[in-house]
Structure 1
């Protein structure tokens, strides 16, 4: 079997893989990406966080994204029944970007991948990794589109395979998530929301079910007059609804008066209605001999705060810096310099996700008399700045959030 050689092999051309490739190309590394699908292809996770822009900019891909024409985003709106609140990400505690985009991922991921190619990375679409051998010189077996198989040897490999979670499956690294099994049913609709309906297209809309605190909807407006629309709930709740996926989604959306009003003129199912279940994932280790796991290939929490792409970009940035130090002959430690800082931010998001589903965080954001400084600290985390240790709600997430939940419950 033919064997090829590269410096860095990246499995997957999604956001983590493309940003890592672009950053590594800036270092002069030889980068090869193998991607199972043909781009553009559909993916979920369509509302970016402002923190993401820092990594896009650092990767040299900012112009690619800005010129693509995606929907501008400056915040998040939350509604439950008669209560409503919104966060403007420009009014936050942490320094950095306060705006970003809401994106059709098929287009966004393709923009990033083409940007990585422009910077000199090689991307091979419809090439599927069949097996992987970690070690000092990691190797993978790959099947090409014509059915032929070949080997790739590399100095190092990065798994950016997303929900495919290639290395965790092949190397048996998966461990159970401590979140309940939840599912999401979603589609795109041509929304026809009137300009006077009170809907801010510059913000994602998160709606809590009027009767169930742990059931919520996303409404993500795009620049082409469509919205991504979905509902997230524990699987037992979703299983109560009969019919096709479209009928089930329409029935659950119909239980919320505000969404029913906003979408009264909508053309449904511009894309086929889809369902994913049990997406929360964990691993025993984020790295090993000759490899590291990026983005969703490592851990995925929950879609409620749109943290997935930001975590993917952060993992790409940390891994790229580790590899820069390695090639420069500097001391580095994958656990201390990659896994620990990455998981630090993930744990901050995790605590906020847990509080959301328990109802505590919802009491905080809907509180009628919020303290402005604390609200800006919370806003920073909603904007993706979960690694800013200057923020007390990052440095001491568990205790401070618990105290705030208790104060808002009174």
Structure 2
């Protein structure tokens, strides 16, 4: 007979959104059970945090736990973002921003970072079950019946009053409940790894900023370089499939013996960008190169009877502005007070109190991501005409403050960004004339 257990809130996944939600719920003394299929620490991509994250970590009483491990885990102090396109360089300092709040954060290896958050939630009393996976759910009038497998693959059942899905790219509930639908973003893929960067002083590289490099020959493609404090970096390139296919064909002609090597392909693509190659002239590629494809996703709704979706389980845009962890933590901070109200017998308008306001910030990120790939926001970033106030407004968005509607570039993001793109392009044309 299958064992039956019970809990107040069951959370799927112990990543940032799940651990943050667990910690916030424990502050309210709820019984919290977290099912995590993997064992921590485990590798995850998405190492560049945004300053807005710091407020959510503070709220969940997790910031001190992270801060205590900064030196031991070589988390790199981060104060902005740098951009490179051929001979053009530009940067945004997040302490020079429109919005109130933190202006600095860290660049982190996600394996220890996520583990620290999970341990913090455990210390607060959350029951995190590593190696356990959800198999199916039944949403009933009075509870949600969750059917799971333990570490020994033995089945058991948990009856929960509410379920939060923080399963990230696993997207457990969207798949089980047929909530997924294709993203309207073009299919893109990424090749990435961790390297010993060996960046020399003459490279003019600021380790306190993520470096985003636009590919010199195809503005749809870009590289990330995220330094850690121990001389290593996360490095990757993002583009549409035809970009990689073209380079794969070139590599096959240039070096047939390595035509199918992801390591060779990543280095071959890097070598075709002169400016970034100078920065990484002495880098050692000493870890396996990984690939993900078609990662952007969307869902029909972020909530339903007795459940809500957190972070990437609900929607993932694109890695270009490192919004993933910020959206994950923001969703947890918004969902938990509503779960609390619901469990206390109060009325919750999940559409207007959760989905709509959460998507408002996500849509701001979406506007800038779309404009980036179309080339418009790239022209803004590299424009020689820089208004200080507008720079501070954009800096706030890049720092993660996409929900600050006091910021004009947030409140009317699409119209204002499009207007700014036209201004920058007109200025560039006049200069050429």
The answer to whether the 8 Å contact 1:134/1:288 transfers is: no
C-alpha distance in 1 between matches for 2:43 and 2:184: 28
C-alpha distance in 2 between matches for 1:124 and 1:159: 15
Residues 1:182 and 2:188 are matched in the alignment: yes
C-alpha distance in 1 between matches for 2:10 and 2:162: 6
C-alpha distance in 2 between matches for 1:233 and 1:132: 37
Residues 1:237 and 2:243 are matched in the alignment: yes
The answer to whether the 8 Å contact 2:12/2:35 transfers is: yes
* Match of residue 408 from structure 2: 392
Gaps of 5+ in 2: 249-258, 427-433
Alignment of 1:369-408 (within 5 A): 369-408=385-424
- Could you tell me which of 199, 210, 215 is aligned with 1:209? 215
| TM norm structure 2 | 0.93
1:226-258 C-alpha deviation (Å, 9 max, x unpaired): 100000000111122332100110011111112
* 1:68 to partner: Cα distance: 1.3
* Match of residue 103 from structure 2: 98
Residues 1:310 and 2:316 are matched in the alignment: no
SS of structure 2 residue aligned to 1:151: strand
Alignment of 1:67-216 (within 5 A): 67-69=68-70, 70-136=75-141, 137-216=143-222
* 1:328 to partner: Cα distance: 4.0
* 1:396 to partner: Cα distance: 0.5
C-alpha distance in 1 between matches for 2:10 and 2:175: 18
The answer to whether the 8 Å contact 2:199/2:280 transfers is: yes
- Could you tell me which of 302, 306, 310 is aligned with 1:286? 302
SS of structure 1 residue aligned to 2:137: strand
* Match of residue 322 from structure 1: 338
The answer to whether the 8 Å contact 2:161/2:343 transfers is: no
* Match of residue 25 from structure 1: 26
The answer to whether the 8 Å contact 2:385/2:424 transfers is: no
Residues 1:409 and 2:425 are matched in the alignment: yes
The answer to whether the 8 Å contact 1:138/1:157 transfers is: yes
C-alpha distance in 1 between matches for 2:300 and 2:188: 21
Alignment of 1:341-352 (within 5 A): 341-352=357-368
Q: 235-244 or 378-387, which moves further after superposition?
A: 235-244
| TM norm structure 1 | 0.98
C-alpha distance in 2 between matches for 1:329 and 1:126: 33
The answer to whether the 8 Å contact 2:190/2:293 transfers is: yes
C-alpha distance in 2 between matches for 1:292 and 1:110: 23
Q: Which has the larger radius of gyration?
A: 2
1:119-163 C-alpha deviation (Å, 9 max, x unpaired): 110110000111122343112111111121101110100000010
Residues 1:297 and 2:313 are matched in the alignment: yes
SS of structure 1 residue aligned to 2:26: helix
Q: 108-117 or 193-202, which moves further after superposition?
A: 193-202
SS of structure 1 residue aligned to 2:243: helix
SS of structure 2 residue aligned to 1:311: helix
The answer to whether the 8 Å contact 1:73/1:101 transfers is: yes
* 1:361 to partner: Cα distance: 0.3
C-alpha distance in 2 between matches for 1:257 and 1:139: 57
1:271-294 C-alpha deviation (Å, 9 max, x unpaired): 310000000000001001111000
Q: Which runs of 4+ in 1 moved over 3 A?
A: 327-331
* 1:329 to partner: Cα distance: 4.0
C-alpha distance in 1 between matches for 2:330 and 2:403: 9
